[in-house]
Structure 1
């Protein structure tokens, strides 16, 4: 199929492009190469993908530019859209909220409008485990309501799910939302904890461990993320005429719309995660223990039964193995490439 991947120079996007091209799909990428972190890493990801599977087209387009997004749809006529581009980061949303409105809301609206006026067979879009917010009923299931977000980032992702549902209902666009849980692996973002922790440990810098290292995260290795996306790409949701309006299920709809958790379903305390990092690096961390930060969720754990039922697959790469792969890449890449930002923990 002909597939448009937004955020194609991003962490998940680059891995997704690589997998889809290996599967024989024709892929068109979109990215604005913004400076949220050093754009050199994005260019290096693109070179890495091209080195594996050959050239692929990537349009330098800002999602907030409605005319440019529409022109790309007119020119390329994608059958499937995998929308991964977004302004990411919970804590950064406290510093620059406008960036989240421009990218995550206006940008997503432009994608939906283009899918409306240039019909596609399937729109897959990235949501986030952060939408569960104040909900502490774990494991998190897509069938629970998520009406108490704890950050603007989470609120924009919840809004994306609602926006997609309205367009799915009104215009028949098959929409699948994916709630990702703490994705990690090679080519990850430098504002995420794996690179932050690895840098702090290897350079002997103080490492900030919030909530005193006691909160848990459901870490999910990047290969499990793209495997899930690849399997779901060819299975668009259908209408559910028997959907019960009087007892509505939050994870499905009478419209061709659905949600899936994509998570490792094995939550790990951050203290354990740090110990594994120290083991693979062969060095001990200098740790500064701090309280929980505003916007952070205490614990995450994904119920992935729906994903297994739909695709026959559940994330399976254990954290110890995944971190070993990540550290091997980190040692190879960072001696000669851009340095990550200051440690946030």
Structure 2
């Protein structure tokens, strides 16, 4: 982190977290944030679910909710980016305040509740993105809070935005929309995923569909999810979303309601990742997310079973330079251990987490 970035983060931390989030997006779009461009090497180049990536370090959903800074984020060193979550109709989300810094824990609690401008606004922006960019762009699909048929909402968003995407994620794991996580049950999940895939199969091109799950599931629930995912041939599972757990926190905001992200989530989400890898015998492609704040964290996720990883919360404390740091550091760790490509390291440390 350079001096300018350090000062910018310090200044942002003096204002309300949600305001700081908006200001950082405004700065990105205004072109005042230095962007590193492509970060890659022969070792880091990755093929995942048919997509070619310059490196395996992606941006998780939640930062660019409305696909406003796709061009800029595609030049920030990420191997792929995910925007959203987007619902069919615009919705304001939960009452403010709804975003909290846990500085002592380097963590974040949010209870946004899928605040976004809706699928029509997102589609309009996604149509304008530069399709020549080597950075795949995906969309996190959500459901409206007051929807009569939440399962159908995911398919609606994909129908509208799918033609402009490289992948899509079914998000049934946000803790901030009441009863949304109920859709992770086997029967509900099977029907939801089948509906989304039917829409995908009607698009002009095939795009992979991912499923994002919660870290707070039992072993039995994880086993059911793997069975359903493999039965319907979902392309990949993202493990995991934020947690409702509050173990070991020190910060004043530790008891706020919402989903916890950042380093306190790392061990829990990585254990879930390893369990998924074992339950599927390594045959289910996995995206590792939750608490990544260093190259070592990213490497641990890969060795636990992830083919690619995503980060987000750590950017609030470390800035966008973290992206290049993680990618370059990961390259060095792979070289240190004799791996010529990322795929060779996937799952090699799984048993350490079980």
Question: Which bracket does the TM-score occupy, shorter chain normalised?
Answer: 0.3 to 0.5
TM-score w.r.t. length of structure 1:
0.36
TM-score w.r.t. length of structure 2:
0.35
